[in-house]
Amino acid sequence: MSTSELQRRFGVPGVVKIDEGRGSLPRVSVTSDLATAEIYFQGAHLTAFQPRGADPVLFQSEKSHYDAAKPIRGGVPVIFPWFGPRAGSPDAPLHGFARIRSWELESCTRLPDGIVRVAFTLASDDDTMRIWPGAFRLRMIFSIGRALDLDLEVRAGNAPITFEEAFHTYLAVGDVRQVRVEGLANAEYIDKVDGFKRKTQSPGALAITGETDRVYRDDGSACRVEDPVLKRALVVEKQHSATTVVWNPWIAKAKAMADFGDEEWPRMICVETANVGDASIRLEADRTHHLKARIQVAT
């Protein structure tokens, strides 16, 4: 279906527009009294969210690819059905295939309270079954208002599936060296920068002082990112998530990434709502699981 046909079917005058974005990839643009947002069909990938009167909440790399065969760098990549490299399959796409597949737009709705809800779907097919032999149907729902609500619904087919999942959220910050992440005190984590050693977070807030790639096993508490440069705090609340991933590439890794600017690393931090590693989800046949997150500027 062309973008003009999609606009006729799903567009909301003055609020929801479907057109071609960068790289001629189809996207949904939301402009309401509460916020603006941009979602690409590829990966059901949210690339922008900005409440009215606030700075952008999400970081988007200026070097990102906008190519149907490559993931978009920044925003909120949807990770499924594995996180990171797939064990035993070096040629498999990093972080699974959901973020590089074209999703189907299901609905765009403006609710009475002004929130705009956009839903995409993705189902298993012959191509996904060749890479990962599990039947599934995904539904990704974005609720865009003063806060951003994310809901990934996973439904198993006629057999059980075991999978990892995440919202690989890139938060925009003024200077990552000055931010503090609250909500992870005393949590156990795997330090992927230090040989995957198991460690325990100190009682205080987390400071970013170098390349950071940590998988925290947590109790589902919210994370609060205090940002003295932008003079705000971003709060990430979550449901049905047993792990939080914190990531920043720092200097050397940023320079090694073709789709990430050499000087962009101070302006972002990933605080990811996830179920990965030993927190992977086993879902019985014909059952449904939801991963949810809410991201907002603290008031």
CATH code: domain of residue 284: 2.70.98.10
Told to judge if 5 belongs to the known catalytic residues of this protein, a careful annotator would answer: no
- Inform me whether the pLDDT recorded for 293 exceeds 90: yes
% residues pLDDT > 70 (the chain): 100
- Inform me whether the pLDDT recorded for 97 exceeds 90: yes
- The pLDDT tens digits for 192-247 are 999 999 999 999 999 999 999 999 998 889 999 999 999 999 999 999 999 999 99
Return the residue matching tokens 């590089």.
Answer: 100
Query: How many distinct structural domains can be found in the chain?
Result: 1
Q: Please give the angle made by the CA atoms of 195, 86 and 181, to the nearest 5 degrees.
A: 50
Containing structural domain, residue 214:
3-297
- Inform me whether the pLDDT recorded for 299 exceeds 80: no
Listing DSSP states for 22-75 in one string gives GGG-EEEEEE-SSEEEEEETBTTEEEEEEETTS--SB-B-TT----TTS---BS
Catalytic residue, candidates 38, 95, 272, 289: 272
Report the C-alpha gap between 116 and 209 in whole angstroms: 38
- The pLDDT tens digits for 164-205 are 999 999 999 999 999 999 999 999 999 999 999 999 999 999
Catalytic residue, candidates 95, 168, 237, 264: 168
Strand partners, 172: 268
Strands 16-20 and 35-40: unpaired
- Inform me whether the pLDDT recorded for 90 exceeds 90: no
Told to judge if 106 belongs to the known catalytic residues of this protein, a careful annotator would answer: no
pTM of the predicted protein model: 0.97
